Amino acid sequence: MANRLKEKLKAGEPAFGVSVMFPSPQIVEMVGKLGFDWVMIDCEHGSISTESIETMAMAAELTGITPIARPWTNSAEAILRVMDRGAMGVQVPHVNTADDARRAVQAVKYFPEGQRGLAAGSRPANYGFGLSMSDYVVRANADTLVCVQLEEQEALQNIDEILRVEGVDVFFVGPSDLSQSMGYPGRSGEPVVKQAIDEAFAKIVAAGKTPGSAGNAQATRGYLEQGVQYLYTHLTTLLGSASVDFLGSVKP
């Protein structure tokens, strides 16, 4: 299965996803049937096990959307676990330096682009059925996506060096952790925080790279105006807004 999310981003189109923190392939299937482009399987903040990653990735493929996983941490071990279960890319948290970004790329890509562990018979390699290992490596290196999260002041201070790292597809500006790092936890709308986010987007776009972020519909409309392409909202945000609309229209 081709990485349709990566294809949309390369074409300069926005791609819309949903972040899911709970182990449910059924929810992932619904997200695909509702018209979203991709799903983010959140292993950093959610309760998702290794086994659930695999079934959720299967559900994503079933409905033609791209499964991206956020690993527990930026380590080769954590990234390998989500990639070998069928994630077609990773959104790596707390990338603060160029070395952090290079480490993420190395963990996602096979030689010569990286050092990801190669195993025969894994699910992403089609269990070894009808696909040679060498052909799989070429395809995987082309199709897998690397997104790095810039969500602390240190990351923004090093953004110019991080943007020069080869192999990174998306530079995600995380409003929640950034607001905390700047001393305004949960208040990403504070002028100083918003300015930092806006400046980061502008630098990413000026460098010819793909920016990403997350938020509700209002925030997403603003991101689109700033050239952000990799976008998602949280499942709980969708449920909350839909519930408000429904109950507001039927309650006396």
Which residues are within 8 A (CB) of 68 and not within 5 positions of it... i.e. 6 or more apart?
Answer: 5, 17, 38, 39, 40, 41, 87, 88, 89, 90, 91, 145, 147
Angle ∠(41,196,108) on CA atoms, nearest 5? 35
Among residues 45, 123, 164, 221, which one is catalytic? 45
Q: Rounded to the nearest 10 degrees, how much is the dihedral formed by the CA atoms of 43, 93, 199, 181?
A: 100
Q: How many CA atoms lie within 13 A of 89 on its CB side?
A: 27
Q: Which helix (H) or strand (E) holds 191?
A: helix 191-206
Q: Which two tokens stand for residue 42?
A: 């959140």
**Known active-site residue 45:** yes
- The answer to whether 145 and 115 are in contact (CB under 8 A) is no
| 70 three-state secondary structure | strand
Q: Which residue has the tokens 């190669």?
A: 118
Catalytic center residues: 45
